[in-house]
């Protein structure tokens, strides 16, 4: 190699008024929600370790730094050889922060120059990938983007931006702290920039980093440690073969599936402590397991009961069984099936702490019938928890929920089936949740959008099931098709038509975005009805292009569906047809939804 140069640079120095290209042998943007989740948790937790209420922005200069690893560039064309996933993800975070500041009426010019730069009167993004431009432009302007015909890389990019919206801990990094966080992110997050001066050297660096000389993963280090404590050669070889088989299975659809499982299992079955939420708190079991977990197992071997060779063998056997349980959970998250449908429901709203809680209640001695019943009960509790929080307009993101879920995890750990029912019911009752109080206040916005879609899909699917029609829930939630279901506003966005009923634009939008004024319809139907009056929309709602919930607004549902009428009568539901749709009708639909929420989300399984 001719020359390789390395130097520390913070995020501002890397991105501000600098252009990067993605090299031809670099893979597309592939990060999934769990990688964004870990990045967000690491960054925000690190910042909050230093921040103290009342700190001025000047004090941020004295905060500790965070090291993001190396970034490798081909110097002549500034092509990213290694580090694209991290830089792209950090750019998405910068765009989120920029949009938040704009919404608050504030500006932070340094952020914009880290996202794009301007030359000769034209702007371009600092990471130059032509295929991404329209998506990045929509994100920068905080506008929706249609990913239907987009490449996977672009879909991932837009998906991860929406994950950041979900995951950012706005309850901890509040509006008055946001600029402090921006300063810290730009000035105190560091990389080592490694520059290869020639194309040939750049490729050599790429091959070296990705093909040989790679350090052992935490999974491999854990295997080495555990197997080294098995004294008999034949037994060690046999356990090694089982380990390889299990890890291969876990990585089949996810190259990090083994690590994700091990973290969830150790937290579910063995972690006893978690970092406090106050500033300056130190990492505990839960947090340490999120890093080099092999080191935590070695350091905590006494806590884990690892003394003799027999202890290590039993630990490995437990590991193998729980790997099979985890695989069942992952299958249930991806396949809608009656026995494990609640696991699937929770996956649709990206509740990423689910596996940890489901693994917690399982005992090594449990047979598969007991395991599946425990999984179903605990998944049902998660479903109730998520519904209770989102209907109350409260976040269910990782940062907000991890401490609470860890508390429940330790409470239900390895308990009996009957004890599990009692404990889950207790935790749910402690939420003090009353749909009749909070549902009338639930409105569509950027935070509630995906949750309201899920609520409408669940309720519509439930009505279908109760009237002997196969639930269409999976189709309602599937966004991969060219014509997915979307949320439909029954009231068109034309305030000027409704000035007699609504005092001003703000009141109009409040009523229009009420959950009682929303439906699910196919994207194409939604677009065709956009500005039409209710009386003109109603025929479509009641046609075969609608669904049973939309049909219930008109006469058809009550004339042509005897099973639907029976369902309504049995439960005393206040379904009725409407010739017009204003405040009175929206209010009645909200109270109908209150009735339906009590039917769909109830505690019968625990009683």
Average pLDDT over residues 64-74: 87
Instruction: Write the pLDDT tens digit of every residue in 482-529.
Output: 899 999 999 999 999 999 999 999 999 999 999 999 999 999 998 899
- Distance (Å, whole) CA 297 – CA 469: 50
Average pLDDT over residues 158-183: 91
Indicate if 15 and 43 belong to the same structural domain. Answer: yes
Indicate if 367 and 454 belong to the same structural domain. Answer: no
Average pLDDT over residues 96-124: 82
Give the pLDDT score at 520: 96
Indicate if 560 and 585 belong to the same structural domain. Answer: yes
Q: Which of 161, 182, 211 is the last residue of a domain?
A: 211
Band (119; pLDDT cuts 50, 70, 90): low
Q: Return the higher-pLDDT residue of 36 and 149.
A: 36
Band (210; pLDDT cuts 50, 70, 90): low
**E runs forming strands in 439-506:** 485-489
Hey, which residues does 189 pair with through a beta bridge? 66
Average pLDDT over residues 11-29: 78
- Distance (Å, whole) CA 501 – CA 495: 10
Hey, which residues does 71 pair with through a beta bridge? 193
Indicate if 466 and 541 belong to the same structural domain. Answer: yes
Indicate if 82 and 106 belong to the same structural domain. Answer: yes
Q: Which of 371, 403, 436 is the last residue of a domain?
A: 436
Tell me 37's DSSP state: H
Residue 450 three-state SS: helix
Indicate if 168 and 240 belong to the same structural domain. Answer: no
Tokens of 55: 């700190």
Instruction: Write the pLDDT tens digit of every residue in 429-441.
Output: 999 899 999 999 9
Q: Judge whether residue 396 has pLDDT over 60.
A: yes
User: 459: closest CA among 604, 345, 331, 538?
Assistant: 345
Indicate if 582 and 465 belong to the same structural domain. Answer: yes
- Distance (Å, whole) CA 558 – CA 288: 58
- Distance (Å, whole) CA 452 – CA 601: 14
Q: Judge whether residue 272 has pLDDT over 80.
A: yes
- Distance (Å, whole) CA 461 – CA 150: 29
What's the domain range around 300? 218-436
Average pLDDT over residues 315-320: 97
Measured CA to CA in angstroms, residue 476 lies from 33, 162, 190, 471, 482 at distances of 21, 19, 43, 10, 13
Show the CA angle centred on residue 372, arms to residues 456 and 270, nearest 5°.
Answer: 100
Indicate if 405 and 477 belong to the same structural domain. Answer: no
Q: Which of 390, 411, 436 is the last residue of a domain?
A: 436
Instruction: Write the pLDDT tens digit of every residue in 527-570.
Output: 899 889 999 999 999 988 889 999 999 998 998 889 999 999 99
What is the domain count for the chain? 3
Give the pLDDT score at 388: 96
Indicate if 555 and 474 belong to the same structural domain. Answer: yes
CB 222 within 8 A of CB 297: yes
CB 482 within 8 A of CB 451: no
Indicate if 185 and 244 belong to the same structural domain. Answer: no
Give the pLDDT score at 4: 66
Indicate if 429 and 449 belong to the same structural domain. Answer: no
For residues 379-401, one letter each, b for 16 or more C-beta atoms within 10 angstroms of the residue's C-beta and e for the rest, the string is: bbbbbbbbbbbbbbeebbbbbbb
Average pLDDT over residues 371-383: 97
pTM across the whole model = 0.78
Helical residues (DSSP H) of 173-232, grouped into ranges:
178-188, 199-211, 218-228
Q: Judge whether residue 202 has pLDDT over 60.
A: yes
Indicate if 459 and 430 belong to the same structural domain. Answer: no
């Amino acid at each position: 190699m001719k020359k390789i140069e390395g130097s520390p640079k913070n995020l501002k120095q890397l991105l501000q008024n600098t252009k990067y290209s993605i090299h031809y042998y670099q893979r597309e943007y592939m990060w999934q929600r769990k990688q964004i989740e870990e990045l967000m948790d690491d960054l925000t937790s690190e910042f909050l370790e230093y921040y103290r209420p009342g700190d001025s922005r000047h004090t941020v200069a004295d905060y500790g730094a965070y090291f993001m690893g190396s970034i490798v560039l081909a110097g002549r064309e500034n092509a990213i050889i290694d580090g694209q996933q991290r830089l792209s993800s950090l750019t998405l975070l910068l765009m989120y922060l920029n949009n938040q500041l704009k919404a608050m009426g504030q500006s932070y010019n340094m952020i914009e120059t880290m996202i794009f730069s301007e030359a000769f009167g034209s702007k371009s993004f600092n990471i130059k990938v032509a295929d991404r431009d329209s998506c990045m432009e929509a994100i920068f302007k905080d506008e929706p983007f249609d990913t239907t015909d987009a490449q996977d890389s672009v879909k991932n990019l837009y998906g991860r931006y929406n994950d950041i919206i979900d995951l950012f801990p706005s309850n901890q990094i509040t509006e008055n702290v946001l600029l402090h966080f921006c300063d810290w992110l730009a000035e105190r997050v560091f990389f080592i920039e490694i520059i290869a001066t020639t194309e040939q050297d750049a490729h050599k660096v790429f091959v070296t980093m990705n093909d040989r000389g790679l350090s052992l993963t935490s999974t491999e280090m854990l295997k080495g440690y555990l197997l080294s404590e098995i004294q008999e050669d034949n037994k060690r070889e046999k356990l090694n073969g089982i380990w390889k088989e299990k890890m291969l299975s876990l990585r089949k659809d996810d190259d990090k599936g083994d690590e994700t499982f091990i973290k969830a299992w150790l937290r579910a079955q063995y972690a006893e402590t978690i970092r406090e939420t106050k500033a300056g708190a130190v990492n505990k079991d839960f947090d340490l397991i999120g890093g080099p977990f092999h080191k935590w197992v070695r350091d905590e071997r006494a806590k884990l009961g690892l003394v003799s060779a027999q202890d290590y063998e039993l630990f490995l056997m437990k590991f193998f069984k729980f790997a099979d349980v985890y695989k069942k959970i992952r299958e249930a998250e991806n396949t809608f099936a009656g026995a494990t449908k609640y696991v699937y429901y929770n996956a649709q709203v990206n509740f990423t702490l689910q596996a940890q809680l489901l693994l917690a209640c399982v005992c090594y001695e449990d047979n598969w019938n007991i395991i599946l019943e425990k999984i179903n009960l605990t998944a049902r509790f998660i479903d109730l928890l998520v519904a209770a929080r989102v209907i109350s307009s409260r976040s269910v993101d990782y940062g907000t929920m991890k401490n609470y879920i860890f508390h429940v995890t330790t409470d239900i750990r390895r308990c009996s089936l009957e004890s599990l029912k009692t404990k889950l019911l207790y935790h749910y009752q402690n939420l003090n949740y009353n749909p009749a109080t909070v549902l009338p206040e639930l409105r569509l916005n950027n935070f509630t959008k995906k949750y309201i879609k899920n609520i409408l899909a669940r309720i519509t699917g439930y009505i279908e099931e109760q009237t002997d029609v196969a639930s269409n829930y999976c189709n309602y939630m599937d966004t991969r098709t060219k014509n997915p279901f979307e949320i439909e506003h029954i009231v068109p966005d034309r305030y000027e038509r409704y000035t007699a009923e609504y005092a001003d634009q703000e009141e109009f939008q409040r009523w229009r975005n009420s959950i009682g004024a929303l439906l699910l319809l196919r994207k194409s139907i939604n677009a065709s009805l956009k500005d039409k009056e209710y009386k003109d929309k109603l025929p479509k709602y009641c046609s075969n292009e609608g669904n049973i919930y939309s049909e219930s607004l008109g006469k058809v549902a009550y004339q042509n569906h005897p099973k639907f009428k029976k369902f309504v009568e049995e439960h005393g539901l206040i379904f009725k047809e409407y010739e017009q749709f204003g405040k009175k009708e929206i209010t009645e639909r909200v109270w109908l939804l209150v009735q339906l929420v009590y039917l769909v989300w109830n505690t019968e399984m625990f009683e």
